[in-house]
Structure 1
Amino acid sequence: MVVLPGPPSQSPDLNHIENVWPELKKCVRARRPTNLNQLHQLSQEEWAKMQPTYCGKLVEGYSKHLTQVKQFKGNATKY
């Protein structure tokens, strides 16, 4: 079994790719890779299947996220 990294740190991150990793990780983990080659292959397949609308929703929510980061003065937010 291949062990995937744990959860991200609690600091707010305004880079959208940081929100994509958990989704990609969930999809790859569901397919249960057993070695690094398979992990690489499944990661590429799941990345290719990721819908542009998913990424678009992350961008649409950016202003709300930024407002929360400002409100909490850079501390952890619900995002």
Structure 2
Amino acid sequence: MSAPRAQRDRLGEALRAIVRARRTAPPATRQEAATPPSLAEMGLRLAALEREVGEVRSRVNGLLFAVVASVIAQLASKLVAG
């Protein structure tokens, strides 16, 4: 019975050490939030955001073009058949 108890004690100590380490070490997100980004970082973020918006815009335009082409094709087939 002493062997399982010793394992539980070691496990408990390990868990307590992990909890202590998490409490004492500040997460990286808190450090980033504490210091405002520089103008260069903000410029890089803005450029990345503009690229993403451009990609989404081109996807939406492509989808819209496909829908319009499909509608025109359906109308043309109805006109020819009718």
Q: Same fold (TM over 0.5)?
A: no
Larger relative helix fraction: 2
The structure with higher relative contact order (CA 8 Å, sep 6+) is 1
Instruction: Tell me the TM-score normalised to structure 1 length.
Output: 0.31
Which of the pair has more CA radius of gyration?
2
